[in-house]
Amino acid sequence: MKILFVASEVHPILKVGGIADVVGSLTKEIKKSGHDVRVAMPFYQPLKDKKIKPLNKVASLQIEFNKTSENINIFETFIPGTEKQTDVPVYLFENNRYLSNKSVYLDTKSFLYLKRFLFFSQAVLRAFPALNWKPDIIHCHDWQAGLIPLLLKIKQKQSTIPACPAGRNNQQSTIKTLFTIHNLLIQGRWNYTQVLKCLNLKGNEIPSLSEKMQGSYGDDFNVLQQAILNSDLINVVSPGYANEIKTDSYYARGLENVIQKRKKDLIGILNGIDTDFFNPETDQFIKRIYSIKRLDLKNFNKLDLQKKVNLKQDVEIPLFSMISRLDIQKGIDLVSQAVDEIVKMGGQIVFLGTGQKEYETILEKASKKHPGRVAACIKFDQALAQQIYAGADIFLMPSRFEPCGLSQLIAMRYGTIPVVRSTGGLRDTVENVKINKKLFGLIKQIQGTGFVFNDFSLPEFISTIKRTLEFYQNKRNWKQLQIRVMKQDFSWSKSAQKYLELYKKLMDTNN
């Protein structure tokens, strides 16, 4: 099969969020099964500054957009692997007005933020003759690629109008689309009339275009809504999140009507992680590599981390961590309210991430209030992230909602125990810890992989932290739990199979 991934970011070429990890690692896994997988993404300014290699210009084309003719150059590079470069080609689309003049994500108050990806989607669909390659399936990720299914449907419809000569005009009609939603919250919305004008559409081309008034998402053109209505198949990144968005309007974010319409074609597939990259046995960024057999070496990483972020160096102090966008989706409000309590209970805590200014300030203040106990690293730093996964004891992720979540999986790979709220992918990947007693309490067996709570409330969160700390006091139990957690398989192999099944299903349907 020939599959084109279309996404706004791809790790390690360029990463802002989890979508980059998924595209970067899933493509490699699909490629292993012998399929022709390629990726398309914009050639942003910061990417050009990085001077990536190799970089070959492979095509040029012109498209009509917003009533002007625009030039596009396509460059080819490859996804770099852990040891050597992979053979997954990445097409970087260069255009000075829309794609290559600025950073990755733009101010959502400017139409350019949306226009950039409307332009990109049109460019991708026009590029196949110039590339001399046409996919069987386009696998679109999030709203940034969400216009593609709509544009393809319109083309398909136009090419079946009887007045059109059969054959060559049908070129695009056989391409199938899979749309993966990483986060339903971010939808890509803008004034309907302006969007249609930009795309040179009238609004009567296909039924979904006139559905703008349905549901509670207002009058805007909503790219995600159009993607859900027009893709051949849809998936979200965990079965738990699929269930939530189908049954609870809080999670459906105003799109409940469209989700209900497509619910038979929408499933959840759990994300995996790149287990070669995230591997405590080989990680280049950490002080001492370690494994299940040499778990004692994890302590060197703890001491090193404590030193690096100015926490008191002491292996006995339970070290909490959080690596996250500082956003209320991630429950940063809850954690910042719990900081004093965590310190009072004898813990330390290290934060890494950027986000809402308000929370950056709160965390910085907390680190000044509790020197040696609280560290606030307000930045994005891949090396420090790995050092935290390796050095911390406990990883906090009390999200309000979580389509999948990758950090809890990475933490577990490094034997760092997650504390999570039971939602979406967190519910699917972390099982609450219990001790099973057998033979009148003589044999104790640990079950579960982390500490889980249900209600998004401070008392529940704090009592879960207490429970975690009580468990931490028993060194033998804690070690057993770490070993259990490190043995979990979060590689892509199972989930990539599920994607392959979806691709096959798409290839088998003729319409």
The residue ranges that bind ligand GLC (CB under 6 A) are: 17-19, 22, 182-183, 237, 271, 402-406, 425
Question: Least distance from C-beta 402 to ligand GLC, angstroms?
Answer: 5
CB of 372 to ligand GLC, least distance (A): 33
- Cβ proximity to ligand GLC: between 229 and 273 the closer is 273
Q: Which two tokens stand for residue 295?
A: 């778990």
Q: Contact at 8 Å (CB) between 201 and 158?
A: no
Both structure tokens of 424: 């979406």
Nearer to ligand GLC by C-beta: 391 or 424? 424
- Distances 420 to 60, 151, 307 between C-alpha atoms, Å: 48, 40, 27
Q: 338 vs 404, which CB is nearer to ligand GLC? A: 404
Residue with Cβ nearer ligand GLC (23 or 388): 23
Surface-to-core class of residue 216, CB atoms within 10 Å of its CB (0-12 exposed, 13-18 middle, 19+ buried): exposed
**Closest CB 325 distance from ligand GLC, rounded Å:** 8
CB atoms within 10 A of CB 288: 17
Kind plus residue range of the DSSP H or E element containing 348:
strand 348-352
Among all residues, whose Cβ is closest to ligand GLC? 18
CA distance 277 to 300: 20
Nearer to ligand GLC, 9 or 70 (CB): 9
- In whole angstroms, how close is the CB of 125 to ligand GLC at the nearest point? 24
- Asked if 115 and 191 count as a contact pair (C-beta separation under 8 A), the reply is no
C-beta of 145 vs 319, nearer to ligand GLC: 145
Pick the closer one to ligand GLC by CB: 122 or 180. Answer: 180
- Beta carbons of 57 and 130 less than 8 angstroms apart: no
How many other CB atoms are found less than 10 A from the CB of residue 292?
Answer: 15
* Least spacing, CB of residue 406 vs ligand GLC, in Å: 5
The answer to whether the beta carbons of residues 98 and 149 sit under 8 Å apart is: no
- Report d(CA 459, CA 194) in Å as an integer: 47
**Distance of closest approach, residue 428 Cβ to ligand GLC, in angstroms:** 11
Beta-strand pair 68-78/451-453: unpaired
Q: How far is the CB of 310 from ligand GLC (least distance, A)?
A: 29
- Of 209 and 245, which has the nearer Cβ to ligand GLC? 245
Residues paired with residue 435 on neighbouring β-strands, in sequence order:
446
Q: Which amino acid makes up residue 428?
A: D
Residue 218 CB, shortest distance to ligand GLC, in Å, is 23
